[in-house]
């Protein structure tokens, strides 16, 4: 491959990683997880790290997600810590 192809591929990969990292950052923030740690983690590898993040956030760390604002509340919370909406414990 020539240099130009490398630059195009690298730029493409960089954009993908940035988007992934940004999405994970925002999602972790919403869920009350360590956003910086996860955001940086999401920048290293695609799509493996995205999958790891999804597994950890969706299954291992069970937060009570507010249906009104999307804030991740601690288990057992009856009201949303962010907006005060009544939470349904599942």
**Among residues 29 and 46, whose Cβ is nearest to Zn ion?**
29
**Among residues 28 and 66, whose Cβ is nearest to Zn ion?**
66
Q: What letter does residue 44 receive in the DSSP assignment?
A: S
Nearest-approach distance from CB 65 to Zn ion, in angstroms: 9
Residue 79 bridge partners (DSSP): 86
Site for Zn ion in 61-90 (CB under 5 A): 66, 68-69, 71, 80, 82-83, 85
31 contacts Zn ion (rule: CB under 5 A): no
Q: Are 25 and 33 in contact (CB under 8 A)?
A: no
CA distance 75 to 71: 12
Name, in order, each residue with C-beta under 8 angstroms of 68's C-beta and a sequence gap of 6 or more. 80, 83, 85
Nearest-approach distance from CB 13 to Zn ion, in angstroms: 36
Residues engaged in binding Zn ion (CB under 5 A): 66, 68-69, 71, 80, 82-83, 85
């Amino acid at each position: 491959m020539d240099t130009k192809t490398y630059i195009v591929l690298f730029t493409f990969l960089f954009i993908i990683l940035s988007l992934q990292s940004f999405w994970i950052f925002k999602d972790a923030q919403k869920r009350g997880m360590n956003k910086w740690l996860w955001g940086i983690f999401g920048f290293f590898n695609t799509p493996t790290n995205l999958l790891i993040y999804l597994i950890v956030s969706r299954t291992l760390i069970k937060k009570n997600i507010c249906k009104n604002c999307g804030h991740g509340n601690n288990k057992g919370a009856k009201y949303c810590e962010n907006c005060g909406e009544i939470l349904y414990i599942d």
